[in-house]
Amino acid sequence: MIPRTARRFSTCAVRAKQKQKRDWWDGPTVTPPSPPPPSADQLKAKARRISKAERDERMDITMALTPVKDYMPGFTRPKDIRTSNWSKGGRYSELKKYESPPQEAYESHTVYLLESRYIVKQGIGRVDCNEFIVGVCRTGDFPLAMERLNNPTSTNETMDNARWPFTKPKFIRKNKWWEQGEDPRELRKRCLLGEDEVSSNGASSSNNVPTEILPSSSSSSTVTQHRGYHTSARAHAQFTGPSTTRRDRARMPLSAWSRPPKPAQDARDDVVPAYYIERKRQRDTICERKEEEGSLMAELSAGILSEGVAASTRVFPEKIPVEVKELDGTIRHPSGFEPPTPETDFHPIASKTPNVDHPLLTTFKVSWEEVLSPSSVEGESIVYSPSSSSRGMRGFHTSAPVRATTVDHPSIHPLPVQPPPVPVSEDIATEVATEAEADSSQTNLLEVVDEDEGEALLQAYTRMPEPLSIEEREEIRKKYSEELRRQPFWRPMLALTFTTRPMALTIARLSRGLEKGLPYYASMENDDRKCLSSYSSRMRSMRLKRMHRLTMSLAKALAGERGGLLGVRFNPDERPRGADGAGLEKPIEFEQRMIEVGVGDWYPLAQELKENFEWDAKEAGIDAFKVYGLDERGLRTDGSSWPEQPAALRARTLKKQAASDQTWAELSKKEKARRMDALAEQNMEAAAKEAARKHRSVYYPR
């Protein structure tokens, strides 16, 4: 307590003395002016203001071509027009300095859409498709841009992954979706015409009705009573598209797939139907088999109670219920039971062929005779069981087959039953992957028994493809370099020419997605993205449709629709259109709103695409519109040529100017900074405009 009291007392005394010194008042405190920033920082700020003037114009054009956000009402407000910030009373009118945009922004620029000649290999989960490029360049630099992209000496990852004619073609696995005996072309034609599938199936299956239920051919006037036919068997007989062959069903004499014979006989009451005789023969066979297997089951039960297996257990295929496919597509059991499992989980021979591309995601067809056994058996103590720490595919329990082949019961003799040999390769993943590429229907993937082997198999189908070695990559590049000299890889689909750089950048930016920013591929269903034949064409159609709409919307806005564009200008010395009413007293001139559209003549629908542009422009009353053709190398086919190549924009920075002095290397850091500030102060205006001449989204040749 004493030290704390002493501290408080001393503090109060010091504060009292300070208060006595501040009793007099010497006027308000004047903050000294802060020193000006270095000339280099002022130069950077000035260059940013010049770039911002062009960016504000682009944002106003983008807002005019973008629909209003209406999916979250109540939480948004209309966007501000960037040009209004510089009007009288605007936010920038008194607080910020205004700089004019660079002169290079008001030259004609071209937006191009290029498509690859061949499809390109993609990663896992993506279908191989044609690639597209959307870019911007000055109108005179378009031929050079095409030469740069198709240059044989340039390395391009897309060209490395392309499926060139000299490479191995893609293996396309076809899915047999039609039943046996059906013509897929006829089915497609029937679906397009809108015919009823049920009625057509009923008409075609009329020949499968048994003769026992047909009316008698005799001319007797007496009416005889015919026996009815079981509905489940009749529905099964009407099923004209079984998933198995007749030879496979012949191997299953006692299963539900054994159809009763239908010989030609008179359907009379004094004649026993043939299928009754067949059913009676089946029942007698089952009873005989039960009597023969009675002792075997007793011995098997005794072996199980004594913790051993006296005989190998084999499931007979005829004891497994088989489903019946109705005409409406439902799967039912002949007894009326609806199985809660997929149709491929029933009898392995009667199950359908897997219809999924990935072999691990299907239900495999394996007959019960293929007994799964471990890769190596070394004695009684070996028991294969799944490890608790392992992760991945669940292994098959093989302890019962092992004990059945190795354990001897003391009371009975062991049965000489050995499981069939199972071919297990050392490199199962490579073997199975190779067989799956050749024929997926003949690959037995359940031959893999051990968990480690199963994990290796799973990794074989899910791992990324190994990258090409340097030698392989160089060999491929050498081959397609010769191909590029004969014909280009990137071909122009569209080339849209505008009078200013902000308009070109706006079209290029908005054409990379849909009107609300959604990517093109995201608008498709997941199953549609996996279709190799239609994915590329759908992507091409969506891109062309999007760029067509943007071009026509911009042309209409330049012609004065909805009051025209606000913030647009065609000279750096002009004020933005709409700022304090500037430029609203007269329409935009013809040369300033001219739009030229180039369409690749190599495209099969090039003529229809040209007609669409011309018809829409004529219907909207747009006169400043021109359409022409392009060849595969980007040259015009209408008899005219591209404008002359403009001068190269080779900016010379202040550092290069300062380094040109011979004494620059001998100066210290402080002396170099002083010289840089002096150069920036002398050439402030020119250096700032020089830094803002180029745009990072535009291609400039060196």
Residue 408 token pair: 């001897």
Residue 552: per-residue pLDDT: 96
Buried b (16+ CB within 10 A) or exposed e, 16-27: eeeeeeeeeeee
Beta strands in 205-312 (DSSP E): none
> Among 59, 56, 135, which Cα is nearest to 99's?
56
Report the C-alpha gap between 513 and 519 in whole angstroms. 5
Reported as a single tens digit per residue, the pLDDT across 105-144 is 999 999 999 999 999 998 888 889 999 999 999 999 999 9
The encoded tokens of residue 206 equal: 């009329």
CA–CA separation, 581 vs 560, rounded Å? 15
pLDDT over threshold 90, residue 221 = no
Q: Which residue has the tokens 């591209």?
A: 642
CB 47 within 8 A of CB 692: yes
- The C-alpha angle with vertex 365 and arms to 360 and 366, in degrees rounded to 5, equals 110
Tokens of 162: 């392309």
Spatial CB neighbours of 214, under 8 Å, sequence gap ≥ 6:
267
User: DSSP of 29-69, one letter per residue?
Assistant: PPPPPPPPPPHHHHHHHHHHHHHHHHHHHHHHHHHHHS---
* 568-594: average pLDDT: 89
Task: Give the whole-angstrom CA distance, residue 68 versus residue 295.
Answer: 83
Give me the phi and psi of 385, to 5 degrees please: -140, 150
- Whether 74 has a pLDDT exceeding 50, the answer reads yes
- On whether the CB atoms of residues 649 and 700 are closer than 8 A, the answer is yes
Structural contact between residues 353 and 378, judged by C-beta atoms closer than 8 angstroms:
no
Residue for token digits 């340097």?
Answer: 470
- Determine contact, residues 595/559, Cβ cutoff 8 Å: no
Which span out of 41-45, 60-64, 274-278 was modeled with the highest average pLDDT? 60-64
pLDDT of residue 297: 61
pLDDT of residue 173: 74
Lowest-confidence range among 57-66, 86-95, 565-574, 604-613?
A: 86-95
109 phi and psi, to 5 degrees?
-125, 155
Average pLDDT over residues 295-322: 55
What is the average per-residue pLDDT within 294-309?
57
**By CB neighbour count within 10 A (0-12 exposed, 13-18 middle, 19+ buried), where does 653 fall?**
exposed
Using one digit for the tens of pLDDT, what is the confidence trace for 650-701?
666 666 666 666 677 777 877 777 777 777 777 778 888 888 888 999 999 8
Query: What's the CA dihedral at 596, 601, 603, 609 to 10 degrees?
Result: 40
Bigger pLDDT: 96 vs 370? 96
CA distances from 493 to 208, 518, 535, 599 (A): 56, 22, 17, 6
pLDDT attached to residue 249: 61
Q: How far apart are CA 190 and CA 221, in angstroms?
A: 43
pLDDT of residue 14: 60
Q: Higher confidence at residue 191 or residue 513?
A: 513
pLDDT the model gives residue 71: 67
- Residue 218 pLDDT greater than 80, yes or no: no
Residue 338: how many other CB atoms lie within 10 Å: 9
Q: Give Cβ neighbours of residue 203 (< 8 Å, ≥ 6 apart).
A: none
pLDDT at res. 35: 83
Yes or no: say if 207 and 214 are a contact pair by the CB < 8 Å rule.
no
Distance of CA 51 to the CA centre of its chain: 36
Strands 625-630 and 595-600: parallel
* Mean pLDDT estimate for the chain: 72
**Among 224, 284, 225, 231, which residue's Cα sits nearest to residue 253?**
284
Residue 247 or residue 568, greater confidence = 568
